Chains A and B, each alone.
Chain A
């Protein structure tokens, strides 16, 4: 296997070995290094949250006590939720993968504010430390939603963990701010808004929500702390407050936060589907605009979390608004399918994850219809149906897309290839294990099993056992993934510059990239024009040959039998 060279500089240093020592990492302003530090951090959080999930599922293996008591169980599911949401999924794709690829996709040297970028990582670490301290000194048993008045009355570490979440919020806001400015100001010549990779549209829509919604969570948590620590009556009726007000404030952030989690995932999927089926994305404008539409609608649907507590008028309005989100999501799915049509599909690990995403997000999205409709939601609210639904969206959607993106950009990030066969087996294990675990929970929910139950009636026992077995299969898949990815770092074959033949700019530099990304600013092209590369059978690389002509659509068209059908 030959190493990638650029202009004949075979020995050139890359961003990983450009500066030695741990201190050079901790003080780095390089978006790629910050991305890698984020990646390591969030994967640690994911491991922690995953272990907590396995404990939760193991406890639910039998009715009554299996391994822990009720109070410990309540802390386990609370910490599983809080760690997974605030420490892993929200920063997951934007701060780890996004940080790495966003400036590269723009052909830029870095994000607009590199110091702010480093600060946001340090804030993440600080927030994580608060969360972990709260676990060590007694944990929290409120559920990740911190509903009042329970959260103002419980004796557990609520202030500690809410301060952690408050700090994590700033980390998220800074990343969002950075991305908004970077996308506005650092696009290269020729890359108009409508010639931007869809990953960037996803990250842009996400960043807007991060900046606008996260402050509301910060304010809400401060009010909660004020009530708990100072006895100011805001939410607790015993102090003259309104408990439902907390839920309104909380979900005003936390529903848009769901789209902070899924929008970048949709961006990743748009890239993976197009690149690995070697076909221009179908409905570019529709996908880009639907990201923006989802971001906008996300602010007006929070009330559906409270259908069992609000007035019929409020419920009617929020039910109607909730359905609005389903349309842009459906449009995206159809566009991805249409992209596969007449493509040249490569069934490698990133593509398998992308296809798994369509399958699982399809179920996650369609089951949302049962919850948006009032009459059925009343029965399903706060049951395992909800648990299954949001795991299909958050895990089947975001985590699967994260894994797809990780495998897609892994060669670029670390300059090494992983074992493709093991990657496919792991993907299959995770996919099957996930469905065993969570499809079962849809049935548990419709049968009436409430969520956050330590104990359950015997009717539900066999389905719970099935679900737990699924979670173990998933765990095997994840350990396998960790194994071959770590193995690839030390012993994987060297990656070429552009192993997938992708047309976005991050593939126009060495793998891993040099410290300043590019020797000279790359010339931008339509991001889904795959004729700009030509496969080199000797190196396995797709060499950049540049666009050859302009078609009637205004886009560059190459010479490989391309045809234009509008």
Chain B
């Protein structure tokens, strides 16, 4: 039995070697496992085509050849045929055993991440993906190197999502309250779609982003620049980006509209009435202190609900936020 399996595995490897030709029905093969998945897919496809064509040809032959002529005629009483029945039970059984085994073997390669994989933390939430890199940098697009395997450690903040990257043939559910993993060895630099595959409500079909596979050595270069992104942008623009990334927009409007916290529109340089009755002018120091110690200078009429951003935003970030608030007249 093992011999048979080994032979099939050999054939499988040969198939993989030839799988460089892409088909119209499969996405590009951009990971090390994609070729094996496609090879198995094609194997099952051709087995299916064989049996389907066989069934349809026999069916058409019979209905062409054996049409009713005499309404009283009755076909021969062939009740059963044991050798024939054993054959058409045993052959499909053998085939599905092989398909099962190949499917399982291929799946184990997809399921078990190698020990040296680069780890990226993933948060799924309605309706976007957040990718947190080892140095703390957060992005909404997945950047990965092409010269080493990557493991995604994933969790959800709300409902079940599923990480799906068709070009890598990879998919795993992302669940609240637990961590799931997915790994891949990206081989082809390029940009590929990344989907949420588990229905999650209104924005389910908008919960898509991209995987950007960097060529050898490019990933580290990108990472260095990305980690230092505040320095490379105009301060107001960096502030706007932080406003979204840090979640400021959930409470503070920039239009003058009311919110959980005071609006930022026209804030800078104006007097602010505090809860303890005193007033301060909203200058650079006031804003810095409100970010790091929000409760220390609470604005009258608002609840003390803002968390501290101590440790979550550094000096360059605070400077960018101040520049952004200054720009909101």
Whether the pair A280, B78 counts as a contact (CB closer than 8 A) is yes
Complex-state Cα separation, A286 to B89, whole angstroms: 10
Complex-state Cα separation, A367 to B195, whole angstroms: 23
Q: Cβ of A309: which chain B residues have Cβ within 8 Å of it?
A: 172-173, 175, 180
**28 CB-based A-B contacts, threshold 8 Å:** A70-B203, A237-B178, A280-B74, A285-B80, A309-B173, A309-B180, A312-B111, A331-B85, A333-B55, A338-B78, A343-B75, A344-B69, A344-B73, A366-B48, A374-B107, A375-B37, A378-B107, A447-B26, A452-B204, A457-B208, A535-B71, A555-B79, A557-B77, A561-B73, A562-B74, A563-B76, A564-B76, A565-B77
Whether a CB of chain B sits under 8 angstroms from the CB of A238 is yes
Whether the pair A278, B106 counts as a contact (CB closer than 8 A) is no
Stretch from B92-100, B136-144, B255-263, B318-326 forming part of the interface with A: B92-100
Q: Cβ of A376: which chain B residues have Cβ within 8 Å of it?
A: 37, 40-41, 44, 103, 106
Whether the pair B52, A366 counts as a contact (CB closer than 8 A) is yes
Q: Cβ of A346: which chain B residues have Cβ within 8 Å of it?
A: 67-68
Complex-state Cα separation, A150 to B180, whole angstroms: 18
In the complex, the chain B residue whose C-beta lies closest to that of A531 is: B74
Within residues 82 to 131 of chain B, which ones have a CB less than 8 A from any CB in chain A?
Answer: 84-85, 88-89, 92-93, 96-97, 99-100, 102-112
Given contacts A147-B199, A331-B85, A345-B62, contact A375 B44 (CB under 8 A): no
Whether the pair A374, B103 counts as a contact (CB closer than 8 A) is yes
Q: Cβ of A193: which chain B residues have Cβ within 8 Å of it?
A: none
Whether a CB of chain A sits under 8 angstroms from the CB of B196 is yes
Q: Cβ of B81: which chain A residues have Cβ within 8 Å of it?
A: 282, 338
Complex-state Cα separation, A320 to B104, whole angstroms: 9
Q: Cβ of A561: which chain B residues have Cβ within 8 Å of it?
A: 73-74
Interface string of A325-343 (1 = CB under 8 A from B): 0110011011001101111
Q: Shortest 8 CB-CB distances between A and B: which pairs?
A: A279-B75, A237-B177, A448-B166, A373-B103, A375-B106, A374-B107, A453-B205, A366-B48
In the complex, which of the residues B48, B72, B89, B111 has the most CB atoms of chain A within 10 Å of its own CB atom? Answer: B72
Given contacts A153-B159, A326-B92, contact A446 B76 (CB under 8 A): no
Whether a CB of chain A sits under 8 angstroms from the CB of B251 is no
Give me the interface of A with B, judged by CB distance under 8 Å. 70-71, 74, 141-143, 147, 149-150, 153-154, 237-238, 242-244, 277-280, 282-286, 306, 308-309, 312, 315-316, 319-320, 323, 326-327, 330-331, 333-334, 337-338, 340-347, 355, 358-359, 362-363, 366-367, 369-370, 372-379, 381-383, 443, 446-448, 450-457, 501, 530-531, 534-535, 537, 542, 551, 553, 555, 557-558, 560-566
8 Å CB contact of B76 from A238, A331, A565: A565
Q: Cβ of A564: which chain B residues have Cβ within 8 Å of it?
A: 76-77
CB distance from A198 to the nearest CB of B (A): 13
Whether the pair B71, A501 counts as a contact (CB closer than 8 A) is yes
8 Å CB contact of B41 from A154, A358, A446, A531: A446
CB distance from A139 to the nearest CB of B (A): 13
Given contacts A359-B56, A383-B197, A452-B204, contact A378 B110 (CB under 8 A): yes
Whether the pair B56, A372 counts as a contact (CB closer than 8 A) is no
Given contacts A375-B37, A376-B44, contact A340 B63 (CB under 8 A): yes
Whether the pair A375, B103 counts as a contact (CB closer than 8 A) is yes
Whether a CB of chain A sits under 8 angstroms from the CB of B58 is yes
Whether the pair A553, B79 counts as a contact (CB closer than 8 A) is yes
Within residues 150 to 205 of chain B, which ones have a CB less than 8 A from any CB in chain A?
Answer: 158-160, 162, 164, 166-167, 169-173, 175-178, 180, 193, 195-205
Given contacts A283-B85, A284-B79, A375-B106, contact A362 B52 (CB under 8 A): yes
Complex-state Cα separation, A448 to B28, whole angstroms: 10
Whether the pair B68, A278 counts as a contact (CB closer than 8 A) is yes
8 Å CB contact of B55 from A284, A358, A451: A358
Q: How many residue pairs at the A-B interface have CB separations less than 8 Å?
A: 295
Q: Cβ of A320: which chain B residues have Cβ within 8 Å of it?
A: 100, 104
CB distance from B242 to the nearest CB of A (A): 29
Whether a CB of chain A sits under 8 angstroms from the CB of B226 is no
Whether the pair B206, A277 counts as a contact (CB closer than 8 A) is no
Complex-state Cα separation, A378 to B107, whole angstroms: 8
Complex-state Cα separation, A451 to B195, whole angstroms: 11
Q: Cβ of B55: which chain A residues have Cβ within 8 Å of it?
A: 333, 337, 358-359, 362
8 Å CB contact of A337 from B24, B59, B69, B92: B59
Whether the pair A450, B196 counts as a contact (CB closer than 8 A) is yes
Q: Cβ of A330: which chain B residues have Cβ within 8 Å of it?
A: 88-89, 92
Q: Cβ of A333: which chain B residues have Cβ within 8 Å of it?
A: 55
Whether a CB of chain A sits under 8 angstroms from the CB of B317 is no
Complex-state Cα separation, A538 to B296, whole angstroms: 102
Whether a CB of chain A sits under 8 angstroms from the CB of B328 is no
Q: Cβ of B214: which chain A residues have Cβ within 8 Å of it?
A: none
Whether the pair A373, B78 counts as a contact (CB closer than 8 A) is no
Whether the pair B107, A347 counts as a contact (CB closer than 8 A) is no
Complex-state Cα separation, A141 to B66, whole angstroms: 51
Given contacts A238-B176, A452-B204, A565-B78, contact A344 B67 (CB under 8 A): yes
CB distance from A365 to the nearest CB of B (A): 9
Given contacts A382-B162, A446-B25, contact A244 B175 (CB under 8 A): yes
Whether the pair A375, B40 counts as a contact (CB closer than 8 A) is yes
Whether a CB of chain A sits under 8 angstroms from the CB of B47 is yes
Whether the pair A381, B74 counts as a contact (CB closer than 8 A) is no
Whether a CB of chain A sits under 8 angstroms from the CB of B27 is yes
Whether the pair B41, A284 counts as a contact (CB closer than 8 A) is no
Whether the pair B59, A308 counts as a contact (CB closer than 8 A) is no
Q: Cβ of A363: which chain B residues have Cβ within 8 Å of it?
A: 52
Whether a CB of chain A sits under 8 angstroms from the CB of B222 is no
Complex-state Cα separation, A154 to B164, whole angstroms: 24
Given contacts A343-B66, A346-B68, A375-B107, contact A283 B80 (CB under 8 A): yes
Q: Cβ of A312: which chain B residues have Cβ within 8 Å of it?
A: 107-108, 111-112
Whether the pair B204, A454 counts as a contact (CB closer than 8 A) is yes
Whether the pair B200, A448 counts as a contact (CB closer than 8 A) is no
8 Å CB contact of A149 from B51, B71, B159, B199: B159
CB distance from A273 to the nearest CB of B (A): 10
Extra pairs beyond A448-B195, A562-B76 (7, CB < 8 Å): A153-B159, A278-B75, A282-B81, A330-B88, A344-B70, A366-B51, A558-B74
Q: Cβ of B193: which chain A residues have Cβ within 8 Å of it?
A: 448, 457
Given contacts A358-B55, A530-B74, contact A381 B171 (CB under 8 A): yes
Within residues 22 to 53 of chain B, which ones have a CB less than 8 A from any CB in chain A?
Answer: 24-27, 36-37, 40-41, 44-45, 47-48, 51-52
Q: Cβ of A308: which chain B residues have Cβ within 8 Å of it?
A: 162, 171-173, 197
Whether the pair A534, B66 counts as a contact (CB closer than 8 A) is no
Q: Cβ of A566: which chain B residues have Cβ within 8 Å of it?
A: 78-80
